[in-house]
Structure formats: structure tokens, C-alpha cells
Structure 1
Amino acid sequence: MNEDDAGPRLGGLMQLGLLAGPLLTMVDSSIVNVAAPDIARELGAGLPTTQWVVSGYLLALAAGLTTTSYLARRFGTMRVYGAALAAFVLASALCSAAPGIGVLIAARALQGLAGAPLVPLAMSVLLGRQGAARRIPVTAGLLFFLAPAIGPSLGGLLIAAGGWRWIFLVNLPVGLLALLGVRRLPDGVAPHADGRARPDPLGLALLSAGLVAALYGASRATVDGWGQPVALVALCGGGALLVAYTGWALRTSQPALDLALLRHGRSALALGLSVAASVVAFAAVFLMPVFTQSVQHHTAFATGLALLPQGLITGVGTAAGQRLAERYGVRPLVFAGFALLAVAGAGLLLVGQDTPLWVTATILSGRAAAIGFGLTPLLSVMLAPLSDTQMADGSTLFNIAQRLGGSIGVGVLGSLLAARAAAVGPIAGFHEIGAILTGLALAAAALALLLPARVAPAPVAA
């Protein structure tokens, strides 16, 4: 790849403009979790109502994803990204000044809607032929994967220092500085507006309603159990709406989200494998803290320290994965990634009540390395057939699939762990989950052999 293909080089402030948006929206997905008791106490609300500060954000984020592709086509990628970042900063200010729980929930929903385009549009710029680079910068890999891990820890520090409102106020200086960087980005860094783009009201309604219903059903099922009528109705109804949207999108000329990627067999396979990788890798991240605190009786702080290296290792692995794929090819690298995930999953079978926390951290770090250098080549395979004008659709579809597949997969495994822990004990139940994750990784490794040896260059946008 020569420098012309890579696109213009970006200065530090311009890179911050592209990376701060995804960082803020991902941190805010988890940072509020630790603040729920303080918010409930200060605003005089019950915890079930306060939980909507978290759930409302995530559901609005999912709904906002469905409009991302059309807005990027119609108004231009960077114009939409800049407007979304400004709205996210404004919504953060509203959250920090909320006088009551109702205003806070509404402001969080606005924050989720505004934050939805930030990750897929930043990805489309970083990966597009016109964009900043075909290779994801090391800093991008670090921030993208470290952000979810540092959210709870950062939230705890900010609450201890100044109260829960600071978890929203901290977004303001970072967001304003990022907006300055966005204004300095060169004109050709992303595709411009297409005045011929037309909205797809029916497709947008099917996609947004289906995605929100499916995610809501998965979240309710994780908390209340998969036999609850509300969870099942929401999940099945959401699934039916998503299937209906797929049929509609493949027939209409300008769908809300272009599913042309799914017409390419290898791209569809890469998308499925990336979802499997997320479930295998991040199920342990969600389930391990429960095990370390409830069974091994470690503190939340110690558990957080054990989980923290994963973000750093995954970020470095993401950058290394691109270089290794260029040298050795996609197929062997993805196969090796899933094989390493399987070995790390087998390592969970050795974790017991007295296992030192550093051993657990080592196992999780191995999983982080595997997901780091295995996921990047999958992204390359998935997006290879797309032109720059289709990058926003491809990266949005990737984010939707990750969010939906991860929520359902982790929810199923979490519920299964709770049921098996009650039946055979927490340690044996955790080992059974480890065996399931190992089997899933081995199956994905076998499917990875169907991937192309190398990725052909993406087509130039017309």
C-alpha cells in the first residue's frame, strides 16, 4: 500500500477528532452503571426507574444506528459525524444539569441517538480508500477496545472526586477539542453528500423497531429469564421485523441500510465469524467479574485491575493483525486467532475458587490478543467488495450485527450460567460455559478455512 492509497496524513488534533467520538460513546455505554445508586439517591428515584438511564441510552443508540447510512449518503460522512459529535456534547451537558430523573432519562436517550453514528462513521473514514488510512492506527485500536473496559473504573474515580454529574461533564472538554479537530480535517477524507439519495421510511421503521425490540427482549430475558412472556414477545417480534426488513432491503433500490454486503458469500461469512468472535471473547469479560467477586471473593477494584490489560492487548493486537495479515494472509491469521480463543477457553476449565487473579488475567489477555489480531482481517474481508460510498453501510451493518449478536449470545450464556450454577454449583457451571465457548471457537476456526487467502483491493468509488 503506497501513501497515495492511504489517503492524507492526519495531525494529532485531526486524529483526536475522529477517535474521540467513538471513545466517548463507548465509555458512556458502561460508565453510568456504577453511578446508578448515587443517581437514584440524589434524584429520589427507585433503582428500576434509574436503570432506564442505562437502558434508554443503549436502546436509543441502537435506534440511531439505523439512520446512520442514509444520513451519511444524503448529507456527507464528515458533516453528519461533526453534527452528531456536537449533539452528543450538548446532550452530555443536559445530562449533567438534569434536575430530575425524567429529564436525565430523556437527555440520555438524546445522547444515545446522537452518539449512534460516531463509531460506524469513524470506522468508514479510517478504512475507506479516501480516508485517513487503510490501516487502523495503533491509537484507534487502543481506544476502541480500551474504552469499554475503562468505563466503570473511570466512573468510580469521577464519582469519588466530584459526584455522578462529573461522568457527563468530562465529555465537554474532550468533545469540544475533538470538534476543533473535525473542522481541520481535509475535504477529501470521506465521501461527500449525494443529493440523489432518498429516504426509506418503511425500511427505517422496520429496521429501527426490529432492532430496538430485539435488544429490549434480550436485555429483559437476561434479567428476568428467557421464559418471561414480555422478553419472548419482544425478541420474537423484533426478529420477525428484522427478517421483514432484510426482504425489503434486498428488493428496493435505496434501502435505509444497504445489505449488498450479504450478497457476497465471503463477506457474509466474515460478518458471522466476527459476531462469533465477539461472543466468545466478550462473554468471558461479562461473566468473569461475577465469578471472581461472588465465588473467589475478590473486590471490584481488584477485578477491574485484572480486566484492564485486555483493552491494551486488544488494541495492540488490532494494529499487529493488519501487518500480519499483509504478510501471512487472512485465512491462517483468523484460523490462528480462533484456535488461540479455543485454547484460552479451555484455560477457563482450570479456574477454581483459589486460582490467583493474575492467572485469570493471563487467560483473559490471551483471549484479548486473539480477538485483536483475528478481528481486523475479518473486517478487511467483510468490507473488501465495498466502494467508499458503501463503507458507511458496511461499518453500520458490522456494528448492528455485533450489538445484536453480542447481546443475545452473552444473554443466553449468562442465563445458562445462572441455571447451571444453581444445579451443579458455580464452579462446575462456569466450567461448562468455558467448554461451550471452546467448542464455539473450534467451530469458527473450521469455518475460517473457507475465507480467502488474501483480501483483494477495495473498488474505487465512482
Structure 2
Amino acid sequence: MTSFDRKLIAPMVLGSILNPINSSMIAVALVPIGVALHAQPAQTAWLVSGLYLATATGQPVVGRLVDRYGPLPLYLAGSALVGVAGVLGLLAPSLGVLVVARVLLGLGTCAGFPAAMYLIRQADDKPRNVLTTLSVSAQTIVVVGPSLGGLLIGVAGWRAIFAVNIPLAVACVILGWRRLLRSRPAAPAEHLDYLGIGLFAGMLTALMVFLMSPSLGEMWLLALAAAFGVAFGRRELRAADPFLDLRVFGGNGPLIATYLRALLAQTAAYAYLYGFTQWLEAGRNLSPTHAGLVLLPMSLLAIVVSTFSGRRPGFRAKLLVGAGGQLVVSALMLLLNGSSPLWLPILLSVLCSLPQGLNSLANQNAVYFQADPVRIGASAGLLRTFTYLGAMVSSAATGIFFADGAGTAGLHGLAVFLIVVASLLLVMVVADRSLTGLGARSAAQPSTTSA
């Protein structure tokens, strides 16, 4: 164990923001990419799902590899892969190649956060502001991502959002090589559950392919996903060192409820980020730059909401306001059309800051109190997995409702879907009595900032 070297903060932060910046910038690029490559929203949705499929599967794997080999080789390899993906996206001749670039981005951006956590864990003196710095930097990037993406597209075209990864990757490699810890990992080598990884990836991929174009003729994909899921569950419950420790669910109903709330909340959040943004460009005829600016109030106010609400104890009231806010925003989306005054989508952006700022924070901190302390790491990892699942469901829903283009009819269909999602979330919060007084028995409080 060593003292924490503050020179590590720069590569830690830079590596950790690679995923959120690529997640958020793409929101304003889907329509221009579709126009340039003659692709419908159902096809460009794979640019979102591809990254999250790769990240949902790759993050736990890379975390295990960091424990085994230390942060430096994984950080450098991930950064290099991000650079390769940037070059591939810059030169991609087709949508299929772009999807491959996004998958590579998903895999490459898996290394930054686990490497940062490893470095913090190895230090004797863990400064309190380091984790907060990582969280704030990630959320700030989510805030400026759509606006930055819109600016880049306005100046240099949509390929610029891929090209920006090249200098970022070079900076990561240089900083990582010069400053990251190079000592051998203290933890003993662990066996990687390759079978579990394969079954998990197969389950998610089959499910997403079905959701992208659901029909009776494609039901075999749903059956395949179910078969992979059953085999995955049996494998993980029997494995001594599972890929995903499903035993964190054992008898813990409140924790399961939190995971499901996270899935529903993130389904709505990402559908708004990707679906509503596409409608602003294709249905309301805004430029990518202006669409990014419309989203800016939501993201800025969400940080304010997270900061102030995080200082207050309690979970139930926050989640009630968050779920209610999503329901109101979803209902107001039904009022939008191609000639709506600009103040109306801006109003929706402002209102959406409540669920964006409350739901993720409350669910993240609920896991802190609900999980078995011995399995807090696995529990936190599963929360992120459910977050990615919500992102993938939202991407599939956007592809379905925008199958014929991101017009007003598709937006209204998406709004009805989101009303159902928000209603389910609200019912779950109202019915979950375990939220009352949660955390009161512990004097320790989790971070008040959500990534």
C-alpha cells in the first residue's frame, strides 16, 4: 500500500470520461449519420446499443483483468482501442463499420473507471474528494456532451465526434505511461468465467436483435435469449468465481427492487436523450448544434438537483418526485408537433432535470445501504449493468417507434411507451415500504454526487 499520488488524478479522470463523452455526443449525431448513410432510426439505434452491449459485458471482465495484471496494461490497451475506434469511425464507409467502431469504443472505454478504482483502493490515504472528482467530471461530460457534439458537427461534420477520440486516446496513453502505477497487483490472480461471459453476451445480443425488430417470425431470438439466460443463471449460481455474482440477489427483495427501478428510470432517461433529440432535428428541424443547446438546461439543472438533494437524507420522497417528473415529461411530449414553439421543448428539458438529477442518485445510494457489505462491489457492478440494460431497452424502443423516421407520430408513440414505464416506476416506489427510513441505521453516508 502507498500514499495517493495526486499526479494520478489527470489520467484517472481522462480515462473515466471516455465512456460518458461517447455516450452523450452520439445523441445529436444519429440524424445526420442516418441522412448521410441513408439509414433509418431503427438502424442507427445500433450505434447506441452496440456501445452499451460491449460495455455491459466488457466492464466486469476488464475489472477482473485490472485486478490480475494491474491498471497500466489495461488502461493503455483500452486507450489505444479508443484511438483505433476513432480512426475507424473517421474513415467508415458504411453504417456497419460505424457500429463496429462504436463496439470498439465500448470495449476500450471499459478500462478507465476500474483502473481508477484500483489506484484509489491501493492507497493508504484516500482523499475524500477523489471519488467526487471522478463522479462530477463524468456528469459534467454528460452535460456538455450533446452541446459539444452539436458544435463539432456544425464545424466539421458528424465524423468529428469519432475523430475527437484520437487526441483523447493519445493523451490517455501519454499520461497513463508516465503516471500510472506499474507495480504488480496485490490481489491474487482469479479465474475468468469465460463460459459465463459468453452466455451473458449471447443473452443480451439475442434479446437486443429481437427488440430492434420484434415480430412473430423473430420469436426464436426471444427463445434463444431465454435459453442463454437460464444457462447463464445456472452457471453463475454454481461457479465458485462467477462473472456476475447473482448471489447478491439472494433473499434481498429491496435490492432487487432498486435494480428494477434503475432499469425503468434509465429506460426513460436514455429514451429522452436519444429519441427526443432525434425528433428535435428531424421533426422540429433544428440543427444538431441547436438540439444540443435545447438539452443543456436539463443537464445543468440536473447537476444542481443532484448536489442539493444529495445533502438530504431519505430516498422515498426523491424517487416519488423523480418518477412523477418522468410521468409529467412523458405526458407533455404528446403536445409536441413540428410547429411547436421552441419554448415548449425547452420547458420539457427544464422539467426533465428533476428525474435526471434524482433517480440515478437515489438508486445508487440505496444500493449502498441495501447490499451485503461483503458483496458491495458486485452489487454496485450489477447496478451499472441494469443501467446499461435500460439504455439498450430505450435504444430498441426508439428504433421501433422511429422505424419510418423520427417524426411527430413516432415521438407520440414513444411518449405513450414512456408513460407506461414512468407509471410502473411510480407504482414500484409507492409500493416499496422498505424505502422509508432507509439509511437511518447507518452513520456513514455515500457520495452525494452521481456519475
Normalised by the shorter chain, which TM-score bucket? Answer: 0.7 to 0.9
In the TM superposition, what is the alpha-carbon distance from 1:184 to its structure 2 partner? 7.0
Distance 1:93 1:50 in 2: 19
Amino acid at match of 1:279: T
In the TM superposition, what is the alpha-carbon distance from 1:153 to its structure 2 partner? 1.4
Which digits, 9 at most, give the CA deviation of each residue in 1:185-244, with x for residues without a partner?
6869x99453241121221221122122222332x32xxxx21634x3334422431332
Distance 1:414 1:55 in 2: 10
Aligned positions of 1:284-295 closer than 5 A = 284-289=272-277, 291-292=279-280
Distance 2:82 2:292 in 1: 27
- Is the contact between residue 332 and residue 453 of structure 1 (CA under 8 Å) also seen in structure 2? no
- Is the contact between residue 17 and residue 138 of structure 2 (CA under 8 Å) also seen in structure 1? no
Distance 1:317 1:199 in 2: 40
Change (3 A) 1:53 1:17: closer
Q: Which residue pairs with 1:399 in the alignment?
A: 384
Distance 1:319 1:191 in 2: 38
Between 1:369-378 and 1:119-128, the stretch displaced more is 119-128
Change (3 A) 1:175 1:281: same
Distance 2:112 2:26 in 1: 13
In the TM superposition, what is the alpha-carbon distance from 1:277 to its structure 2 partner? 1.1
Partner residue of 1:282 out of 241, 256, 270: 270
Change (3 A) 1:394 1:369: same
Change (3 A) 1:414 1:215: closer
Distance 1:20 1:443 in 2: 34
Which digits, 9 at most, give the CA deviation of each residue in 1:224-275, with x for residues without a partner?
xx21634x33344224313321232122110122234323333222221111
2:350 maps to 1:365? yes
Partner residue of 1:200 out of 170, 193, 203: 193
2:314 maps to 1:314? no
In the TM superposition, what is the alpha-carbon distance from 1:30 to its structure 2 partner? 5.0
Q: Which residue pairs with 2:132 in the alignment?
A: 136
Count residues in correspondence. Answer: 435
In the TM superposition, what is the alpha-carbon distance from 1:59 to its structure 2 partner? 4.5
Identity of aligned residues (%): 21
Aligned positions of 1:214-229 closer than 5 A = 214-218=207-211, 220-221=212-213, 226-227=214-215, 229=217
- Is the contact between residue 310 and residue 368 of structure 1 (CA under 8 Å) also seen in structure 2? yes
- Is the contact between residue 68 and residue 396 of structure 1 (CA under 8 Å) also seen in structure 2? no
Distance 1:127 1:50 in 2: 39
Change (3 A) 1:217 1:125: farther
Distance 1:299 1:428 in 2: 21
Structure 1: stretches of 5+ with no match in the other structure: 1-6
Q: Which residue pairs with 2:233 in the alignment?
A: 246
Q: Which residue pairs with 2:366 in the alignment?
A: 381
Q: Which residue pairs with 1:213 in the alignment?
A: 206
Change (3 A) 1:236 1:149: farther
2:254 maps to 1:266? yes
- Is the contact between residue 76 and residue 194 of structure 1 (CA under 8 Å) also seen in structure 2? no
Distance 2:36 2:84 in 1: 20
Give TM-score, length-normalised by structure 1.
0.74
In the TM superposition, what is the alpha-carbon distance from 1:447 to its structure 2 partner? 4.1
2:160 maps to 1:175? no
Give TM-score, length-normalised by structure 2.
0.75
Change (3 A) 1:431 1:248: closer
Partner residue of 1:159 out of 156, 161, 166: 156
Aligned positions of 1:81-100 closer than 5 A = 81-93=75-87, 95-96=89-90
- Is the contact between residue 39 and residue 50 of structure 1 (CA under 8 Å) also seen in structure 2? no
Q: C-alpha root-mean-square deviation of aligned residues, in Å?
A: 4.7
SS class of match (1:450): helix
In the TM superposition, what is the alpha-carbon distance from 1:390 to its structure 2 partner? 5.5
Change (3 A) 1:338 1:430: closer
- Is the contact between residue 417 and residue 433 of structure 1 (CA under 8 Å) also seen in structure 2? no
Amino acid at match of 2:343: W
Distance 1:46 1:345 in 2: 23
Change (3 A) 1:302 1:98: closer
Change (3 A) 1:353 1:347: same
Change (3 A) 1:319 1:182: farther
Between 1:61-70 and 1:94-103, the stretch displaced more is 94-103
Aligned positions of 1:229-240 closer than 5 A = 229-230=217-218, 232-240=219-227
- Is the contact between residue 55 and residue 110 of structure 2 (CA under 8 Å) also seen in structure 1? yes
SS class of match (2:245): coil
Distance 1:329 1:127 in 2: 28
SS class of match (2:298): helix
Distance 1:378 1:195 in 2: 32
Distance 1:418 1:167 in 2: 24
Distance 1:428 1:32 in 2: 21
Distance 1:435 1:286 in 2: 17
Distance 1:129 1:278 in 2: 33
SS class of match (1:256): coil
Change (3 A) 1:96 1:411: closer
Structure 2: stretches of 5+ with no match in the other structure: 447-451
Distance 1:212 1:122 in 2: 29
Change (3 A) 1:439 1:334: closer
In the TM superposition, what is the alpha-carbon distance from 1:310 to its structure 2 partner? 2.3
Change (3 A) 1:246 1:98: same
- Is the contact between residue 12 and residue 113 of structure 2 (CA under 8 Å) also seen in structure 1? no
Q: Which residue pairs with 2:434 in the alignment?
A: 450
Amino acid at match of 2:319: V
Amino acid at match of 1:285: L
Amino acid at match of 1:139: V
